[in-house]
């Protein structure tokens, strides 16, 4: 417990988290700081490239671990069960309509790149090792939840959902070839091909400034989250609570699952952070296309303004202390 508190405080006292808080506060006090959208977009791309590439270079060094197949299996299990559990909780405890159940569970089943990046930063600060292919696991876990959720909506809806046929084509493209999946896998493969030598040529751009750039990006994320917090009322008490408890449920489940696979502490933390994280880039775009009747005010606000801040500020040290406690 004391370790959790000290970890949490230490995590809170990093420049990244504090700049997130600054961004959040600045929006609340209606300051006019404005990070242009072009910048947010390119920073998001930077992180996917940097994370994927670094992972690939790691793999090229250590070779593919025996644990890879286990990890892929684990990633898929989490990618399928998390949205299922979320859906059932939302439907039977929250009594939310099917469409919004599906929309929200797609988000909580999918993953957040920036939460993952913050967890990597946390592990680095504690010098805890993790496998290079974890970036690939993240890419693997982006899409399944979206399909599972839509399937669930179909199954539970007696009357035909009026999702247009053409939407399915769009959705498949959007999910399989969405920018995060392509960038993460692409950079991972590039990293594997070029290895350590290629790394040395791009290190001053893709590795050294990583934490600093994260600082600027989280300032921006803080402002985006702060803007959405005003829609908090629309979300309501049940969904607000869900946005805080679902991550913990997913994380604890994942810790137990990873324990069964006997993954390292680093990998276990990253898996549980991925499970706990809720997508706010890929999933919203896909869900908007697949389930246009769902209310964006719910899923965007929950993902971005509640779960994301919770995870990067308290979730990561919490899941870490749970892992330590259980092992």
**With respect to Na ion, which residue has the nearer C-beta, 11 or 105?**
105
Alpha-carbon separation of residue 55 from 60, 72, 79, 139 (angstroms): 9, 15, 20, 12
Rounded to 5 degrees, φ, ψ at 177 are -105, 25
Q: Which of 289, 306, 316, 318 binds other proteins (CB under 8 A)?
A: 289
Pick the stretch among 24-32, 162-170, 235-243, 273-281 that binds Na ion (CB under 5 A).
273-281
Structure token pair of residue 199: 């790394």
282 binds other proteins (CB under 8 A): yes
Alpha-carbon separation of residue 189 from 22, 61, 132, 135, 192 (angstroms): 36, 13, 11, 11, 5
Among other proteins, a copy of itself, Na ion, none, what binds residue 237 when CB lies within 5 to 8 Å by partner kind? none
Binding mask 230-269 for Na ion (x = CB under 5 A): ----------------------------------------
User: Contact residues for a copy of itself (CB under 8 A)?
Assistant: 13-15, 18-19, 22, 25-26, 29-39, 41-42, 45-46, 49, 53, 121, 125, 173-174, 177-179, 182-183, 186-187, 190, 193-194, 198, 201-206, 208-209, 211-213, 215-216, 219, 285
Which parts of 124-183 interact with other proteins (CB under 8 A)? 162, 164, 166, 170
Instruction: Assess contact for 290 and 166: CB atoms under 8 A.
Output: no
Q: Which residue bears the tokens 């919770």?
A: 310
Among other proteins, Na ion, a copy of itself, none, what binds residue 209 when CB lies within 5 to 8 Å by partner kind? a copy of itself
| Packing angle of the helix pair 134-142, 179-206 (nearest 10 deg) | 150
Q: Which of 124, 211, 231, 261 binds other proteins (CB under 8 A)?
A: 231
Alpha-carbon separation of residue 28 from 22, 74, 244, 291, 312 (angstroms): 10, 40, 21, 31, 19
**With respect to a copy of itself, which residue has the nearer C-beta, 13 or 237?**
13
Among other proteins, a copy of itself, Na ion, none, what binds residue 293 when CB lies within 5 to 8 Å by partner kind? other proteins
Q: What is the rounded CA–CA span in Å between residue 324 and residue 145?
A: 28
Burial track 128-159 (b if 16+ CB lie within 10 A, e otherwise): eebbbbbbbbbbbbbbbbbbbbbebbeebeee
Structure token pair of residue 76: 């898929």
**With respect to a copy of itself, which residue has the nearer C-beta, 84 or 194?**
194
Query: Among 35, 10, 67, which Cα is nearest to 262's?
Result: 67
- How many CA atoms within 13 Å lie on the side-chain side of 85? 22
Q: What is the rounded CA–CA span in Å between residue 160 and residue 210?
A: 47
Please report how close the Cβ of residue 88 comes to Na ion at its closest, in angstroms.
Answer: 15
Binding mask 277-306 for Na ion (x = CB under 5 A): x-----------------------------
Residues that bind Na ion (CB under 5 A): 277
Residues that bind other proteins (CB under 8 A): 37, 40-41, 44, 162, 164, 166, 170, 223-224, 227-228, 231, 280-285, 288-289, 292-293, 296-297, 300, 304
């Amino acid at each position: 417990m004391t370790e959790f508190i000290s970890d949490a405080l230490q995590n809170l006292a990093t420049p990244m988290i504090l700049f997130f808080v600054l961004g959040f506060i600045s929006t609340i006090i209606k300051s006019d700081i404005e990070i242009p959208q072009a910048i947010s977009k390119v920073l998001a791309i930077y992180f996917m490239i940097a994370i994927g590439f670094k992972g690939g270079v790691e793999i090229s060094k250590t070779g593919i671990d025996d644990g890879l197949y286990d990890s892929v299996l684990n990633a898929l299990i989490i990618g399928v069960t998390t949205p299922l559990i979320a859906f059932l909780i939302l439907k039977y405890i929250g009594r939310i309509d099917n469409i919004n159940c599906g929309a929200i569970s797609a988000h909580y089943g999918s993953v957040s790149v920036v939460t993952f990046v913050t967890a990597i930063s946390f592990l680095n600060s504690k010098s805890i090792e993790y496998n290079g292919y974890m970036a690939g696991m993240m890419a693997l876990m982006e899409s399944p939840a979206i399909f599972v959720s839509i399937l669930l909506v179909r199954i539970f809806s007696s009357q035909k959902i009026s999702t247009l046929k053409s939407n399915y084509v769009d959705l498949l493209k959007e999910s399989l070839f969405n920018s995060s999946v392509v960038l993460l896998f692409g950079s991972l493969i590039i990293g594997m091909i070029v290895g350590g030598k290629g790394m040395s040529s791009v290190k001053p751009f893709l590795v050294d400034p990583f934490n600093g750039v994260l600082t600027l990006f989280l300032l921006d994320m803080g402002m985006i989250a702060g803007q959405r917090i005003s829609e908090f009322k629309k979300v309501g008490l049940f969904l607000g609570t869900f946005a805080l408890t679902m991550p913990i449920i997913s994380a604890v489940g994942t810790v137990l699952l990873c324990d069964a696979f006997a993954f390292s502490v680093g990998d276990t933390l990253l898996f549980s952070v991925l499970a706990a994280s809720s997508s706010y880039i890929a999933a919203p775009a896909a869900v908007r296309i697949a389930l246009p009747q769902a209310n964006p005010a719910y899923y965007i606000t929950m993902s971005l303004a509640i779960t994301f801040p919770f995870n990067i500020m308290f979730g990561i040290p919490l899941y870490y202390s749970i892992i330590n406690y259980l092992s």
